[in-house]
Structure 1
Amino acid sequence: MVRVPLTPEQIDSGRRLGALLRRVRAGRDPETVARSAGISPETLRKIEVGRIATPSFGTVVAICDAVGLPITDAVDVWRGTTEEPLAM
């Protein structure tokens, strides 16, 4: 199966989401957050820097749970309807 390249919009959305997750995680040990979310620290790092622009829904939910971010805030940033998390 051939993988379809991501659109510029998908890449931008992934970067926004990654930046939000990195900002919300600030001050917390990335390895602890990653393990709490059930992912590797390397996967967390790749999501935060935008190298994984379309992480699975379950992964995003798990990271949001690990850092105490409402999933709706992550969705709003991913969609581009807001730049900052609404509730923190």
Structure 2
Amino acid sequence: MVRPILSPAERERGRRLGATLRRARGDRSMVDVATAAGIPVETLRKIETGRIATPAFFTVAALGGVLGLDLAELALIALPTPAAESA
């Protein structure tokens, strides 16, 4: 399956999501968080660095649960910003 090329706005949303998850992780190791969420460590690494800009809903939900983040808050991060829309 060929994935479509992401727009600059989609890549920016992925970076914002990754930064939010990274901040929420705090001092916890990637291994601890990934294991608790039931995802590979490399997947968490790619999400946090923005290399996976559009992670699956259930992956985000699992990470949000482990990190104590509300899904509604995470959804707000995914909304396009006015600057990103004009890009």
Contact persistence 2:9–2:80 (CA under 8 A): no
Instruction: State the partner residue of 1:20.
Output: 20
- 2:53 aligned with 1:53: yes
Paired position in structure 2 for 1:4: 4
Give TM-score scaled by structure 2 length: 0.86
Percent identity for Structure 1 against Structure 2: 51
Q: Secondary structure at the match of 1:10?
A: helix
Superposition RMSD in Å: 1.3
Q: How many residues align?
A: 81
User: Structure 2: any 5+ residue segments left out of the alignment?
Assistant: 82-87
**Residue segments in structure 1 that go unaligned for 5+ positions in a row:** 82-88
Report which of the two has the higher share of helix.
2
Moved more, 46-55 or 3-12: 3-12
**Structure ranking higher on relative contact order (CA contacts 8 Å, 6+ apart):** 2
Scaled by the length of structure 1, the TM-score of the pair is 0.85
